[in-house]
Amino acid sequence: MSFTVIIPARLASTRLPNKPLADLGGKPMIVRVAERARESGAARIIVATDHPDILAACAAHGIEACMTRADHPSGTDRIAEVAQALGLAADEVVVNLQGDEPLIDPALLAACAARIRDGVPMATCAHPIHDVADVFNPNVVKVVLDKAGRALYFSRATIPWDRDAFAATQDALPLGYAPLRHIGLYAYSNAFLQAYPALESAPLETIEALEQLRVLWHGYPIAVHVTDSAPPGGVDTLDDLARVRRHYPN
């Protein structure tokens, strides 16, 4: 399947200033992310940015980049602007890869893109949760699926809730209990990506602080690719940056 990867990258970050330009073994992080995306088999990789320094860093390493407006409320809106500017066909599949994921498995991008089918305009990924602490952690987003592998709901709460087992104990995962952790990687048909910014915000989205609930609230299906293991974490903090740098020695 042909697909395009667009990587939104803002220079401003409250927790880690100038994060896209952080050095990883002699190259900026945003370049490392784009290089990773190249291994996925994508037809095209573009960085969508609001800052000329990121644009210049990409140009210096042969990475295609595009300037966007600075006032986008989300990365999804940012990549929609770029997809429109590129004149992508309505049925082109666009993968939204965050610019702080330099260790992402390239195969995961291709697998997510492949879940876009007729009548399914959006896809994402998940993996099984094995740590009981993660099951009850509101910072770990969970997803439950229907029999076709489409999302029924995303939540910071513990879903599904094993009523009987958790009444007895919450110190261990019940036998046969298989909750899924959502992975923040998305694919869209370009037609849906262009329609998305005009969708009204949803009450559930506001309550849970989960943007993808807007899609379900408006009645659009989201296919979910389930991978066996958790992908390496992205970069949000200095500790994360130190961890990732061990993979890119100078």
Q: Do domains 1-101+235-249 and 105-231 have the same CATH topology?
A: yes
Tell me: the pLDDT tens digits for 72-122?
888 888 899 999 999 999 999 999 999 999 999 999 999 999 999 878 999
Does CATH number 3.40.50.720 belong to domain 1-101+235-249?
no
Which 3-state string (H, E, C) describes the chain? CCEEEEEEECCCCCCCCCHHHCEECCEEHHHHHHHHHHCCCCCEEEEEECCHHHHHHHHHCCCCEEECCCCCCCHHHHHHHHHHHCCCCCCCEEEECCCCCCCCCHHHHHHHHCCCECCECEEEEEEECCCHHHHCCCCCCEEEECCCCEEEEEECCCCCCCHHHHHHCCCCCCCCCCCEEEEEEEEEEHHHHHHHHHCCCCHHHHHHCCCCHHHHHCCCCEEEEECCCCCCCCCCCHHHHHHHHCCCCC
- pLDDT for 136 equals 97
Task: Tell me which fold the domain 105-231 belongs to.
Answer: Spore Coat Polysaccharide Biosynthesis Protein SpsA; Chain A (3.90.550)
What is the residue extent of each domain of the chain?
A: 1-101+235-249, 105-231
For 112-152, write each residue's pLDDT tens digit.
999 998 789 999 999 999 999 999 999 999 999 999 999 99
| Tens-digit pLDDT profile for residues 199-227 | 999 999 999 999 999 999 999 999 999 99
